[in-house]
Structure 1
Amino acid sequence: MVFAEFKEALTLVGRTPVLWIPGIVAGLLAALLWILYNISGAFFALRLVLIVALVMLLFVAGTFALVKKNAGDAGTLLRGGLQYYFKILLPWLVVGFALLLVFILIMIVTVAATGSGTDYEAAGLLAIFVMIPTLFLTFFCDTAAVFEDAKVFASLRRSILVAASHSWEVLGFFIVCCIFAFADLFVFAIIWEGLLLEKLQPLVTYYSSPGYNETQLAGMMTPHNLIAMIGTDGMWITAAVIFASMIVLVPVLLAYKACFYRKLIGSPVAIQQTTGEYDSKGRWYKY
């Protein structure tokens, strides 16, 4: 099932040029963040991540609307993005707020359990154990909001129901997404290294030298040293590679998520049968 929908998504992206628009926008924004990080530092760039995410939600909603309506024009992309923007924003805000509350509670519990300072390692592990199943169950709240016109909590309930009823298929979906994302990043990382091979020559020379030491190499590979090594030209080349990578990655993953969810809601959901009977007043009594 998961491979059939992935193939469908590839075909859909290939024959619908407007689906590339979210990838182009994502690539431009990601490249912009990279350039700002190099020019202004992490302090300014990290504060733009939220704005970038809010802008991308418009195109996420528009992509889902295109797949839902089997359309292929930019007008449907824009109208769908505006129509469903808050319908997909609000559920994710609820999920984020819930995870934040859980993290605060975990911090309080770890402090109470240790009787001293916060055990960040234990708190981090507990947060991961809570975050993974939460995101697994609520991951399709945005597609539920678009494909079924569900409101905030209805979309969350629908996502939980669908993910729990088709847990193995959803797990396969995540595996396929991870494989494709890894393949995309791996290919463009090779391209990036080829374009910057001359500037990265000191690393290559050190790696092949008799005195090679992994600890020293890790020290050389810090973001600051790497940026200084590739220089301004390398910064622009890296931005171009990031842009190209997002153009491929984003449209396929968004189309895949929409096609996969459309298939899931078309599949029967297993319902647990119970035995019982109605009394004379129409009340149900379960045995």
Structure 2
Amino acid sequence: MVFASLVEALRAYVKMPLVWVNGAVAALAILAVYYLTYFVNETAGLAAMVIFFIFFPYFLAGTYGVLIDNNKKKGAFKIYARYGFRRCLFPNILLVLLTWFLMNLVTMLLLTFGVSAELALYISLFVVIPLVFFCYFADITAIRHNLTMGQAVKDSARRVALGSFSITVFYLMNIAVIFFASFVLSMVMSFVGFEALLPLAEMTEEALLALTPEELVTLVMTPEIIQASFVSLAITAFIFVPFFVSYKTYFFKRMLSVYNGSAVQHTAEEDGEYDEKGRWFKYK
């Protein structure tokens, strides 16, 4: 199930070109955040980031629907996106808020007991991993089964618990791809920011060790290196975001066939249809 979904996700790059839309949107958002921050101010960059997080679920919902139903009809993406936008948005907002709250709570508690800030941050990250682990499919199951935010979280947790071994392998595969993506990012960075990184590359080991932390930060945080970093990140996002979205979708699709049943009110597979505005109507 894990590797079959992986193969499908790779094939989607060619067979379902719409998956590239997610990568393009993510890449444009990264560049918009950088250029608005650099040429306008930090508030403009932050606003661009918030707008991206609010509207990206629209593209996720469209991709989820088209891939799960293998629907290549004209206008299908738009219908699924309209139907699933809010269903995809709210579970993700809940997950982000819970993650932020737990990380801050655990970090503050550990700091009061004298734990270093760096160690407290690492521990808080490990605390929120189970939350992400069980809620990872909340947005896609909310769309597929027309669930409320709370129902979607419960259904995601139940499906993860039922398929604990395959789910674990699936997450490990995602982590492996993340490491590979970071390697690709470093390669792209070395190419895009070659001229900006050249002064650092030409320095000897003794010269680098002799630098103070402030001097090292000054060398690394030049405008040219920062720009190269954002451009490299945008290129990497354009390549890998489509994979993570399609891999998640195809794996969830296979989970539906293996682990049937959920706390649903109705599903897209019941007798009914979507109209041109993305509304679902059940036949009597």
Matches within 5 A, 1:260-279: 260-268=251-259
Kept in 2: contact 1:165–1:269 (CA 8 A): no
Q: Structure 1 pair 76/219, CA: closer, same or farther in 2 (3 Å)?
A: farther
Once the 2 structures are TM-superposed, how far is the Cα of residue 200 of structure 1 from its aligned partner? Answer: 1.6
Q: State the match for 2:81 in structure 1.
A: 81
Residues 103 and 128, structure 2, Cα contact 8 Å, conserved in 1: no
Pairs within 5 Å for 1:165-244: 165-206=162-203, 208-213=204-209, 216=211, 219-222=214-217, 225-228=219-222, 230=224, 235=227, 238-244=229-235
SS of 1:71's equivalent? coil
1:94 partner amino acid: L
For structure 1, which segment, 178-187 or 56-65, has the greater mean C-alpha deviation from structure 2 after superposition?
178-187
Q: What are the within-5 Å matches in structure 2 for residues 18-167 of structure 1?
A: 18-40=18-40, 42-72=42-72, 75-99=75-99, 102=102, 106=106, 124=121, 127-167=124-164
Question: Could you state the TM-score of these two structures normalised by the residue count of structure 2?
Answer: 0.78
Say if 1:137 and 1:159, in contact at 8 Å, map to a contact too. Answer: yes
Kept in 2, the 8 Å contact 1:147–1:262? The answer is no
- How many residue pairs align between the two structures? 261
What is the CA-CA distance between 1:84 and the residue it aligns to?
A: 0.6
Deviation string 1:75-101 (CA, Å, 9 cap, x unpaired) is: 222221111111122223333444455
Partners of 1:212 and 1:238 in 2: CA distance: 21
Distance 1:108 1:28, change over 3 A: closer
Q: 5+ unaligned residues in a row in structure 1: which ranges?
A: 271-287
Q: CA RMSD in A?
A: 3.2
**Equivalent position of 2:242 in the other structure:** 251
One-letter amino acid of the counterpart of residue 228, structure 1? T
Q: Distance in 2 between matches of 1:199 and 1:249?
A: 25
- Unmatched tracts of structure 2, length 5 or more: 262-284
Please give the alpha-carbon distance, in whole angstroms, between the structure 1 residues aligned to 2:20 and 2:254. Answer: 22
Question: Structure 1 residues 150, 189: closer, same or farther in 2, change over 3 A?
Answer: same
1:37 Cα offset (Å): 3.2
